[in-house]
Chains A and B, each alone.
Chain A
Amino acid sequence: MAFDKMELRDIEVWDGNFAAAQALRQAQVDVVAAYPITPSTPIVEGYAKFKSDNYVEGEFVMVESEHAAMSGCIGAAAAGGRVATATSSQGLALMVETLYQASGMRLPIVLNIVNRALAAPLNVNGDHSDMYLCRDSGWIQFDAFSPQGAYDLNFIAFKVSEDHDIRLPAIINQDGFMTSHTAQGVTTMDDDTAFGFVGTYKPMNDMLDFEHPVTHGVQTEEDWHFEHKARQHSDLMLKVSPKIDEVFADFEKLTGRKYSQVECYDMEDADVAVFCLGTSVETAREVATEMRAKGVKAGVVGLRVIRPFPFERVQEALKDVKAVAILDRSSPNGAPGAMYNEVCAAMYSHESSPLISGYVYGLGGRDLTKAHLVDLYNELETNVKAGKVTTQLQQFIGVRGPKLSFL
């Protein structure tokens, strides 16, 4: 029985979860193995409903844990077809072992992570603790700032991940609730256009090709392990970035929507900038525009591609700015923020570097308000005037009690 196509309006009102579910439908994923967890559940519920209503032909395997979800995805991907799933937070934590296995086995899988805090204390709301949990897992990692991004980046992720020169799994992050459960206008592609962009899956080393049996997931010790890991890193460093550029360009040609690995907003002549991820990028852009009306040359840098970390492009984006605030939405638990460290590493090795200060914000879904960002831009202005960072290097924003700052 052939599956049915779905008529979409040019602009649909979708939240990030439904946008991702629609992308999985249109990409004609072959296997989804999944386990529910707030706030990512509606993605796989959406896929299951599409299956029940004959809008997809792929298999949906509702497994008994997130670890099993990714295990099933790995088996399915090795068998030779398009594979995707979704998770959040504790589920991702349980899945982490298999993330490294998936990438080390060079299997293209698309994982939607709806970012949420990590317990304890238990919390279902958005922050980036889980995102950082898989930072070094060897996956390509994108960040959506809105439901539109959650939709578009899924297609881009399949195309990059499944390319035979790449063969690495890809994550699309979106903010829990702020993106996943907040409906916005999403410009859609029709089913044929969307599937045409990703194309039919082209298998490689597929277990279901019985004329060419393959062994997946071998043992290597000190004799070969290093070479395998080095090769994977090398491909991430050298091959993935140009491939992402190429796919971004193809996507722009098709849809008119332009994506960049480092998304710069009003950065051409900016004196002060905020560097952040997720929904905060959009809030910061609004505040930057308001600051410009007050005469402050404010800009925003949003990180679209977290891995491979676009080191030179971050340098390029920040080299002429005088002061920048790096926002980390995760508790560093005894160190400077993870993103702060990465940006500092990039700028330290560049001939010109701005004054860099770090901010920890929004843990467990705490709002980052426009007022916070106004204060922050003003603080950066003070730093510019003083020619040095006038505060401590790490400050917490929006937490109760006396001001919390370190270093």
Chain B
Amino acid sequence: MSEMKKIKNLKEFSTSADRFEGANLLCPGCAHSIIVREILNATNDDLVLSASTGCLEVCTAVYPYTSWDASWIHIGFENSSTAVAGAEAMYNALKTKGRLKQPDRNPKFVAFGGDGASYDIGFQWISGCMERNHNMMYVVLDNEVYANTGGQRSSSTPIGSSATTSPAGSISYGEKMNKKDMMGIMAAHHIPYAAQVAPNKWKDMVKKIQKGFATEGAVFINAVSPCTTEWKFDPKDTMMLTDLATDSLVFPLYEVIDGKEFNITYRPKNVVPVEEYLAAQGRFKHLFKDEYKYLIKEWQERVDANWAYLQRREEAKV
């Protein structure tokens, strides 16, 4: 077993040896790089990483440069999960056969994908990896939109959001569908560990990631990743937006162990009205017209109902 990395405070955390370089092409204010650093910095163990086609990939591995100081692979849009599962299978084979070059190491296998790559096109691949219980972690960088291709809706895009393929207009309030419950679906695979995380709550995040790394078997992580470009907010406000997401309970932080044990890991002292979360983002601007204000009320009701549901599950331990 590898030793868990001890992290005392944020300063120490933010200055620990970085295997994801600041030299990358992600937008200023993009939460992806913050999340990736928090995950990579949570361990001192060796890493085998993958990314699906998307913002993270196109911004961090443009030949002849790389931002990755750990083994990393990109194949396509839908298969970052299976890429890492294949590498994990090879690790097991070479371990059995005694052909590992550094047999004393405890590598962690981590795949990254955006919500388009995870909720939509790569859904089946992830489901396969979770069902087969590969010893790996799959991380969704969930910015609720196809950001790399310019803002099309995915099945993670929430209702009322204006996306380029579900734009708000004179007779439309934008996206008509509710966000897919990916956490619920992944937990239903009865994998050892699934958790929702947010980069502003870094202690909660590190705890969950370390728990994930200590888990034998498949781990699913859904990370909220506010997108300055498509959510339309000032790049300096990324953490403020993340605070609004977690404190309004639009993005509740919780974990599911073995698909059964359900723990809420963050209870905001002062719950922020959903309206404030929506008002901070250009993608919801049209909802504040008189004819769509009922949607804001519905948003609040939906978030309240979901929070009540999560608490009931936690209480019932199911």
Contact = CB atoms under 8 A, between A and B. Distances in A.
A98 B90 contact: no
Interface string B45-70: 01010100000011001111010111
Contacts of B87: 75-76, 78-79, 207-208
B86 A31 contact: yes
B75 A75 contact: yes
B94 A61 contact: no
Given A57-B93, A76-B86, A224-B63, A71 B73 contact: no
Contacts, number: 170
A269 interface: no
A79 B97 contact: no
A30 B93 CA distance: 6
B58 A79 contact: no
A74 B80 CA distance: 11
Interface string B114-151: 00000000001101100110000000000000000000
A64 B127 contact: yes
Q: Which of A64, A75, A210 has the most CB of B within 10 A?
A: A75
Given A75-B73, A219-B61, 18 more contacts: A30-B94, A31-B93, A33-B82, A62-B132, A64-B124, A65-B128, A74-B83, A74-B86, A77-B90, A79-B87, A81-B90, A101-B75, A105-B75, A208-B101, A210-B71, A210-B105, A218-B66, A219-B63
A224 B64 contact: yes
Given A75-B50, A224-B64, A61 B86 contact: yes
A72 interface: yes
Given A207-B71, A210-B102, A216-B73, A72 B89 contact: yes
A80 B107 CA distance: 14
Interface in A44-94: 57-59, 61-65, 67-68, 71-81, 83
Would you call the interface of chain B mostly helix, strand, loop, or mixed? mixed
Contacts of B50: 75
Contacts of A217: 61, 73-75
A213 B72 contact: yes
A225 to B, nearest CB: 9
Given A30-B93, A75-B73, A213 B68 contact: yes
Interface string A205-223: 0111111011111111000
Contact of A76 (B62, B89, B105): B89
B35 interface: no
Given A68-B128, A210-B46, A217-B75, A73 B62 contact: no
Contact of A74 (B64, B75, B128, B132): B75
B38 interface: no
Given A31-B86, A219-B58, A211 B94 contact: no
B128 A216 contact: no
B91 A215 contact: no
Given A57-B96, A76-B90, A214 B71 contact: yes
A61 B75 contact: no
A33 B63 contact: no
A67 B89 CA distance: 17
A102 to B, nearest CB: 8
A32 to B, nearest CB: 9
Interface of B: 46, 48, 50, 57-58, 61-64, 66, 68-76, 78-79, 82-94, 96-97, 99-102, 105, 107, 124-125, 127-128, 131-132
A97 interface: yes
Nearest to B86: A75
Contacts of B107: 208, 210
A213 B64 CA distance: 15
B89 A208 contact: no
Nearest to B127: A64
15 contacts: A30-B94, A57-B97, A68-B79, A71-B75, A71-B83, A74-B86, A79-B94, A105-B75, A200-B99, A207-B48, A207-B87, A208-B87, A208-B101, A218-B62, A218-B74
B93 A71 contact: no
Contacts of A200: 99
A200 B92 CA distance: 17
A52 to B, nearest CB: 15
B94 A80 contact: yes
A390 B92 CA distance: 62
Nearest to B96: A57
Contacts of B89: 31, 33, 59, 61, 72, 75-76
A31 B66 contact: no
Contacts of B71: 207-210, 213-216
Given A63-B128, A64-B124, A98-B76, A218 B63 contact: yes
A136 B88 CA distance: 30
Q: Which of B76, B82, B85, B96 has the most CB of A within 10 A?
A: B82
Contact of B82 (A71, A81, A210): A71
Contacts of A203: 101
A219 B68 contact: no
A300 to B, nearest CB: 41
A30 B73 contact: no
Contacts of B105: 210
A76 to B, nearest CB: 4
Given A71-B83, A101-B75, A30 B90 contact: yes
A220 B65 CA distance: 10
Contacts of A33: 82, 86, 89
Contact of A59 (B61, B62, B76, B93): B93
A63 B70 contact: no
Contacts of A64: 124-125, 127-128, 131
A211 B101 CA distance: 9
B79 A71 contact: yes
Nearest to A65: B124
Contacts of A63: 82, 128, 132
Contacts of B131: 64
